[in-house]
Amino acid sequence: MGDKYAGAFDDGWDAYREKTFARQKELGIVPAGAELSRHDPDVPDWGSLPPEARRLYSRMMEVFAGFLSHTDHHLGRLLDYLRGEGLLDNTIVMVISDNGASAEGGPTGTTNEAQFFNNAQEPLEESLAVIDEIGGPKHFNHYPWAGPGRAIQPFRRWKRETYRGGACDPFIVSWPAGIKAKGEVRDQYAHIIDMVPTVSICSTSSRPPPSGVSRSRRSRASASRTCSTTAMPPAITTPSTSRCSATAPSTTTAGARSAPGPAHRSSRREWVSASRSRRRSSPSSTRHNWELYHVDADFAENHDVAEANRDKLIALIATWYVEAGKYDVMPVDGSGVARMTAEKPLVAAPRDRYTYRPGTQSVPFFAAPRLMNRPHSITASVEIPEDGAEGVLLCRARLRAATPST
């Protein structure tokens, strides 16, 4: 996986950022006057790395690019099927990624993502020892922090943070029978929970938006609540003309974001975003590390204007607390690992016996039996050849805040 892109990233992540940004401007994906986000202080300069590290990180990005091509291929298979069945023209297809590029590879990348959650970064030597196996079935590899820096141009930071690099994603929509425009770019703001009511209204105008979903992760297991969703058809399609409008106003104008792991927050109304980050604050940030960016003029959030616009900042902070209270975001804390490892309801019926058969892929921690702090036995039926054998029969990685274990 990734051989197709051999050598594509050998110039380093800074060079690739510049190349990607220039291409985005050429395609009109970012405004003509946009700036590239500054080099992140948590990412080392490419030139400062030893040759072995550069070889490893280039390979990790080649594999990542290969997986994107793999995904694109199978999405194409789905579209070809719909086309062959005569269904594609009247099928609404929406493609969006997760909340910002993943950062679970840590500063140096890893061949086993579980190491990040165990706070046990993989030594460079161990990664290099299996460099030819990265992308194969033996490893759960993940690129280093600089990878997100290349994947979410031109924005700052990455997943689990509320700068635009952790909260904004490309959104691709296709509906040949309902949207006549093709290959055009729209820059209206929308929230991911606006997607379903958009489909409902585009499909049948009489169908109401769904209920029972909440913006808050905390309330997923509690009683169903009505979510605050806003359909975005003016930016997607105008029903009377079947034309999408490049000048239609954004239907979603306010929102409160919270990244529970490191307790990041952001608020947005009209053309300004305010962010709070415990990890990184600008030298001019005001009390409690709130920062302010005029995102229409400062697309990549390079210039903190909090000091010069205190009234606007205070208003946005107030908006955040109003929205957070309304949708049960409070309290905000940094106990992300504790919440991930807490006992949760399971879809399957309770059981006290699990059987795993040869050829099974790795089972995620959340779907595996809960063995911690309870008596249990493990029985393995193994056929050992006459000349002997050695290897791992069972490896179980626990998600802990500090100590690695298997």
Ordered by start, the domain boundaries in the chain are 3-84+101-163, 178-252, 254-338
Answer whether 234's CB lies under 8 Å from 248's CB: yes
Residue 248 C-beta-side C-alpha neighbours within 13 Å: 20
Cα-Cα-Cα-Cα torsion 51, 54, 60, 64, nearest 10 degrees, comes to: -150
Within the chain, which residues score under 50 in pLDDT? 205-207, 209-210, 212-227, 239-242, 260-263, 278-287, 399-406
Longest dimension (CA), the chain: 78
Does the CA dihedral 203-208-209-213 come out positive or negative? Answer: negative
Contacting residues for 68 by C-beta, under 8 A, at least 6 apart = none
Contacting residues for 172 by C-beta, under 8 A, at least 6 apart = 93, 94, 95, 96
CA distance 202 to 194: 12
Helix, strand, coil content of the chain in percent (nearest 5): 30, 10, 60
Does the CA dihedral 260-262-263-264 come out positive or negative? Answer: negative
* Encoded amino acid at 232, one letter: M
CA distance 245 to 239: 11
Alpha helices in 154-268 (DSSP H): 164-167, 195-203, 233-236
* Encoded amino acid at 340, one letter: M
Measuring CA to CA, how many Å separate 139 from each of 38, 106, 156, 217, 392?
A: 32, 16, 28, 30, 14
How buried is 244 (Cβ within 10 angstroms: 0-12 exposed, 13-18 middle, 19+ buried)? buried
CA distance 304 to 292: 5
Tokens of residue 5, six digits: 């892109």
**Chain centroid offset of residue 258 CA:** 14
Task: Write the CATH number of the domain with boundaries 254-338.
Answer: 3.30.1120.10
The sheet carrying 254-259 orders its strands as 254-259, 264-269, 272-276, 290-294
Q: Please give the pLDDT value at position 397.
A: 64
Answer whether 145's CB lies under 8 Å from 172's CB: no
Element at 113 (helix H, strand E): none
Radius of gyration of the chain (CA): 24
CA distance 330 to 388: 57
* Encoded amino acid at 372, one letter: M
Residue by residue, DSSP assigns 298-337 as -TT-----TGGGHHHHHHHHHHHHHHHHHTT-PSP-S-HH
* The residue count for the chain: 406
Answer whether 142's CB lies under 8 Å from 57's CB: no
Does the CA dihedral 60-62-68-69 come out positive or negative? Answer: negative
64 phi and psi angles, rounded to 5 deg:
-60, -45
**In this structure, how many other beta carbons lie within 10 angstroms of the beta carbon of residue 44?**
18
